[in-house]
Structure 1
Amino acid sequence: MSILVTGGLGYIGSHTVVELINNNFEVIIVDDLSNSEKFILNNIEEITGKRPIFYPFDLTRKELLTQVFEAHNIEGCINFAAFKAVGESMEKPLDYYENNLFSLINILQEFRKRNISNFIFSSSCTVYGQADEMPIDENTPLKEPESSYGKTKQMGEEILKDFSKAYQKRVTLLRYFNPIGAHPSALLGELPSGIPNNLVPYVTQTAAGIREKLSIWGDDYPTEDGTAVRDYIYVLDLAKAHVAALKKLLNSQEETVLDIYNLGTGKGSSVLEVVKAFELANDVAIPYQICPRREGDITIAYANADKAEKELGWKSETTLEESLRTTWEWQKYLKERTH
């Protein structure tokens, strides 16, 4: 069974591709390599023993996407392809709206024309904004996101709700919290371009000496230690949730499905707790400095993922420390690879 994975050489996409192959799916990847590198394809093959079919192009190029659908009997799609830097999205909003939404619409047009169903959308907890209550479940009211990136995720969800209803399609929206960690083989992990936007790659690059010190944005939040709190979920646990969600769609007897799941651990960890856990897990010291808060950062967000456990038979299983240990192994692999 052929599954299209857009952005399949990216961070979460590549881990999900491995899990799909391990579950006997044929995987077709489309990735423009704007936020990934070609060697990841080789590493996927090294891990699984199978090389996915790969097309290097931008999904806004409709004619190339049509050729992929004509060449393969695609029975579902997991859509990761998107620009994702929150800060950059505020500086280049039109680029984000064009890339993230036009690419989504182009895939859905192919699904409509060819009467294909089974679509999984990579969404985000940013659609909740700063929720009024914790933990955040799927019924928590959505708020307008602070960033243009977050807005593209919320708009993407709305497009897919209309798509599912109007054309009787099976769709799942997966709202993830904060993915961290790397594959246990140390052959896959997060590959930030330039200065990392996310905490954990910044921590590992500081530990490796690439960055002089970690910047912690704000220590005056109303939390236990004054730093912001997030729900950090291991990337391979997240990948397994995508496979579980896909199997549920494929096995559904319903023509029209719209499922929404939060994917997180159900536990919040502060920035300082993550730094200390990394130091403990890897016996490495992290120099850091406290900086003023960043505009748009929320105080606290962690998930209630009970629905995913009940309906998908999935839950997060990997500890924060183990996740952080894998990400340090990945950083060491990258260092060896460049020498």
Structure 2
Amino acid sequence: MKKLLLLSLLLFTAPQLHAQQEHDARILAYQGLRFACGDSVTPVLRIENAGSQSMFTCVVETWKNGLSVNSFNWQLSPPAVTNEARQPAMPIVGVTEGDVLEFHIISVNGVPDEDSDGNVSSFTVGTAATTCGLQTVEVEVLTDAQPEETTWVIRDELGQVVAQGGPYSNASSIEAQWLSLPADACFGVELTDAGSNGINGGHLIVRCGGVDMIQVDGSTFTGEAYEGLHSGTVLGMSEARYRPSLQLFPVPAHDQVEVRWSVPLSPDQLHVLDAAGRTVLEMGLACSAQQTTLDLDQLVPGIYTVVLRTQQGAFAQRLLVN
């Protein structure tokens, strides 16, 4: 009889122990910069409404090195329904490398959070970002035998994705993408391997003006690698500066275009980029060459950029295809 009563009690209380709370939120991820942009950072959290009631407000405290620095009363309009996640930006916090930031969910809808699971998240502020004097950068990924596991994103100060790449389909191949970033801003570069075994023999490189500014060896991480990047105020490779060194004929072009460059450049690669910065044509070049001809029959009419990569940097010229 006692065993029967105990079994009945367990069956009755088990659903109560695992029942969803009414007012509950949890931190899913930190999405802001992990380094100081200037002398501060704007924390950004991915927060889910884990309660059965819609979430109208959520109070989150920010702590630095064990001390509370602010309390943020997040107002949601419209409210977040059950299991919906939002991404609020917290008040700016002054930080330096090595500071530890913690985030604590205190209450939901004015009620103390009813489940402590996922209420606290923390990270250590990393080293300063690598600075590029230009807004235009190239992201190159060398994939491994599992290219479908590799992805990357670039996030701004508010955690918004401004560029991304992958997953890829070609094993052991170079995948390149050119980007035009907002001027004089900070970004986080996140490289992820879904298999949590890194990129065996691969890498991620961010180039600025043809120079490798960020280099991530695929063997130095497992699940994720993170680097900081600060953009410059110059849009990209100046046409005025490079026009005497790189010439296209004819312009506008239709079926073919002849690319000519001066002797000192000695380029080793040529890329044609579309308006989104994607490489649509590429070819290797002999260092002794001074010109080449591109077939354009696969390109739709529009504006493109022809880029020569040399030891002196990257040189570019606009191309109009009609």
**TM bucket by the smaller chain?**
under 0.3
Structure holding more strand per residue: 2
Larger Rg computed on CA atoms: 2
Structure holding more helix per residue: 1
TM-score by length of 2: 0.24
Higher relative contact order (CA 8 A, sep 6+): 1
